[in-house]
Amino acid sequence: MTLIEMVPTDADELARRLAAALPSDVDEATLRVVDESSEWLRVRRGTVLPTRSGFDGGAMITVWVDGGFGHAATSDVSDAGLRLAAEAATRWARATSGHTVPVAPPELRRSGIYHSPVTSTWATTDLADRIDLLRARDAEMDLGGDIVDHGASLGRRNVHSVLVSTAGGVIDQTFNFTYPNLHVTAARGGDAQTRTYGAGSFCGQGDAEVLDRFGFHTAAAELAHEALALLDAPNCPTGVMDLVLAPDQMVLQIHESIGHPLELDRILGDERNYAGTSFVTPDMFGTFRYGSDLLNVTFDPTVEGQLASYAFDDDGTPATRQHLIENGILQRPLGGALSQRRADLAGMPLDGVANSRACSWNRPPIDRMANLNVEPGDQSFDDIISSVEHGVFLRTNTSWSIDDSRNKFQFSTEIGQVIRDGELAEIVRNPSYRGISREFWRNLSGVGDASTFAVMGTPNCGKGELNQMIGTGHASPMCRFSDVEVFGADR
């Protein structure tokens, strides 16, 4: 996809140009450039939609002066463009001096690199072949009858990010992302049922090998058969029962009811006007029982091929694996260097993680999830199913909602299956469940082993003002929860 060099990415040149663009009296400054190319292919109902390529690039300059700081983002990375950006960032830094939340320059002096692992490069597959691949999957879902819509899509992005600082630091990271998806809808009368390929969660870093991780090449027909079967299936039963969640539903359960409430910028109040606050308070770390003893959650940017793996965050902090929740006890928040410093100054010293991330060159970094994973336990799929007397097994998220403090949630999935006396029984449609985060996780009563574990991601997590959409990784085994309020649709 590399067609145009949208921005220069030679670190020495960038450092020289940053220095040349800055006024002489700034305390510290960073320049982060992002060069991104992308390709989005889609086939729907047998028609190849127009291919869409993308070429994006620009620079973010951040300046610290006298306790204030300012950002300026520009797509003009010429010397003149960078000088204008540096002047604008400096103006904002001076204007905010004395009026900001506590800030400090990152003093970024270290250097490092990262490359996404790629084992099966897209470069050996030409565009016509990629389109043919999608046409074949799309055709496999065209079973006729009540199938009213179907489609296959493939997105890929190559992102090169270079961060340099006036303190001498250089962070150079290159990412390859691949996003495959399938969808098929069956409808009859006033009802429609849709099945997808993991609701977009079967994505990751890497090239064509990402498609093999979840069986993209063989999934289509089964999804179409399931959509048809759901039209004839009974509604999900209503009542309090055991709930078994597949990894492609656990993704959203982790994301919404563990990930967001642990973001330190939310705990510090930054997101209260938009994404929300958190029921978690600083005093809870180290003592609060978030879940049952079976719950172990890691921040792990080192998982090979997961969507949000990296070596450094966008402040240049080295990224390492950390337990956020260990044996059910809350250990540390998702807070980058700035949030940790703010918490410390507020008398709440907390160890955080390297999760200060920006969605692109045109947004400043904020605390984000990266890879947030539930660690596997020791139960097989059969162990978990056979342990349930009365319950449901739910797969593939289709709806999610949670309050602004991340307590009261409700989720729906595309497909359910009744578990009766330890065995999987009939499939059911329109399954939903609701609960309160801490009660739900404390009722975690079974955690699947490595054979049930899947490494996935959420490509579109929204947060921040200015708004930012970013990819987060989630890996999980299948899990069992006891005494959950489950329900179906009205008809």
Partner 1 sequence: MIDPQYFDDLVTTATAGLVGDEILLASLDAEQTDFVRFNQAKVRQAGNVRQSTLGLDLIEGARHTQATVELTGDRETDAGRTAAVIGLLREQRAAVPEDPHLIVNTEPASTTHIGADSLPDHGDAVAAIVDGAGDRDLVGVYTSGPTASGFANSLGQRNWFQTSTFNVDWTFYLRADKAAKAGYAGFEWDDAAFDRSLRDAAGKLDALGRTPIDLAPGEYRSYLTPAALEEIIALLSYGAFGVRSQKTAQSSLLRLVAGEDHLAASVRISEDTAGGIAPNFQEQGFLRPDEVVFVDAGRATDALVSPRSAVEFDLAPNGASTDESPRSLAIAGGDLDADDAIAELGTGLYVGNLWYTNYSDRSACRVTGMTRFATFWVDGGEIVAPVNVMRFDDTLYSLLGSKLEALTSEPEFLFDNSTYERRTPASAKLPGVLVSGMKFTL
Residues 373-432 touching partner 1, rule: CB under 8 A, are 398-405, 407-408, 410, 412, 430, 432
Give the shortest CB-329-to-partner 1 separation in angstroms. Answer: 23
**9 in contact with partner 1 (CB under 8 A):** no
- Tell me the torsion sign for CA atoms 342, 334, 113, 76: negative
Residues 6+ apart with CB under 8 A from 302: 309, 319, 320, 321
Q: Are 386 and 422 in contact (CB under 8 A)?
A: yes
Q: Tell me which residues in 214-273 interact with partner 1 (CB under 8 A).
A: 268-270, 272-273
Residues 6+ apart with CB under 8 A from 124: none
Q: Are 29 and 86 in contact (CB under 8 A)?
A: yes
Nearer to partner 1, 172 or 414 (CB): 414
Give the shortest CB-132-to-partner 1 separation in angstroms. Answer: 10
Give the shortest CB-20-to-partner 1 separation in angstroms. Answer: 18
Alpha carbon 447 to chain centroid, angstroms: 22
Q: Are 102 and 147 in contact (CB under 8 A)?
A: no
Name the segment binding partner 1 (CB under 8 A); options: 44-52, 168-176, 311-319, 445-453.
44-52
Select from 368, 249, 370 the least CA-distant residue to 307. 370
**SS3 of residue 464 by DSSP:** coil
Give the shortest CB-250-to-partner 1 separation in angstroms. Answer: 18
How many CB atoms neighbour CB 389 within 10 A?
A: 11
Nearer to partner 1, 36 or 375 (CB): 36
Nearer to partner 1, 16 or 272 (CB): 272
**95 in contact with partner 1 (CB under 8 A):** yes
Name the segment binding partner 1 (CB under 8 A); options: 184-192, 210-218, 290-298, 324-332.
184-192
In the set 10, 13, 16, 52, which binds partner 1 (CB under 8 A)?
A: 52
Total of chain residues touching partner 1, rule CB under 8 A: 85
As to burial, measured by CB atoms within 10 angstroms (0-12 exposed, 13-18 middle, 19+ buried), residue 162 is buried
Q: Tell me which residues in 343-372 interact with partner 1 (CB under 8 A).
A: 362-364
**113 in contact with partner 1 (CB under 8 A):** no
Burial call 259-297: b when 16+ CB within 10 Å, e when fewer:
bbbbbbbbbbebbeeebbbbbbeeebbeeebbbbebbbb
Nearer to partner 1, 87 or 107 (CB): 87
Look up residue 50 and give its two tokens.
Answer: 């127009």
In the set 191, 209, 222, 449, which binds partner 1 (CB under 8 A)?
A: 191
Cα(376)–Cα(453) distance, rounded to whole angstroms? 7
Length in residues, the chain: 491
Name the segment binding partner 1 (CB under 8 A); options: 51-59, 210-218, 283-291, 328-336.
51-59
Select from 130, 131, 151, 148 the least CA-distant residue to 140. 151
Q: Binding marks (x or -) toward partner 1, 267..286, rule CB under 8 A?
A: -xxx-xxx-xx---------
Q: Binding marks (x or -) toward partner 1, 115..154, rule CB under 8 A?
A: -----------xxx--x----------------xx-----
Cα(209)–Cα(212) distance, rounded to whole angstroms? 5
Look up residue 425 and give its two tokens.
Answer: 């029984």
Give the shortest CB-290-to-partner 1 separation in angstroms. Answer: 19
Nearer to partner 1, 3 or 421 (CB): 3
Q: Are strands 191-196 and 170-188 parallel, antiparallel or unpaired?
A: antiparallel
Give the shortest CB-182-to-partner 1 separation in angstroms. Answer: 15
